[in-house]
Amino acid sequence: MKKLIEELELPENRQKITALSLDAAFNEMKTKHEAFEQIFADQAEANADLRQMSSASSIRKDLEKNLKSYFNLLTGMKEVSGWELFYSDVNELVKAAKNSSSGKDKESDQPKNE
């Protein structure tokens, strides 16, 4: 498109465009092409930014590893005075989370009675 616009802007072609009363259409085409180029550049920049980010599966893997380490710490500390209540509260939250996620799987696996 750039080459076409460059070619059409040559003096001999500008005279033909003017003679055919296509100045407005040509200017509109140039404006729309410039807008497209800007949008394309913005999208290319956004895509480059996205490539720099970690993937969701990578982030999830790191989160799971860190949560497991945290729960292992809590499990080890449950015998220490003052940690029993905190351990039991977190343990109940973990059990509830496991039951809620496994409950959804069980519901989707069982046929519905109609």
Q: Which amino acid is at 72?
A: N
What was the pLDDT predicted at 22?
Answer: 93
Give the span between the Cα atoms of 35 and 50, in whole angstroms: 23
Amino acid letter for position 9: E
pLDDT of residue 113 exceeding 50, the answer is no
Mean pLDDT of 37-56: 92
Does residue 81 share a domain with residue 102?
yes
Spell 38-57 as b/e; 16+ CB within 10 A means b: eeeeeeeeeeeeeeeeeeee
pTM exceeding the 0.85 threshold for the entire prediction: no
- Are both 38 and 73 inside the same structural domain? no
pLDDT at residue 41 greater than cutoff 50: yes
Render pLDDT for 22-37 as a digit per residue (tens, 0 to 9): 999 999 999 999 999 9
- Please write the tens of the pLDDT for every residue from 54-66: 888 999 999 999 9
pLDDT score for 111: 47
Confidence grade of residue 97 (pLDDT, cut at 50, 70, 90): confident
Pair (97, 66) in one structural domain: yes
Least-confidence region, from 2-6, 59-63, 100-104? 100-104
Which of 18, 35, 52 is the last residue before a domain boundary?
52
Full domain range(s) for residue 23: 2-52
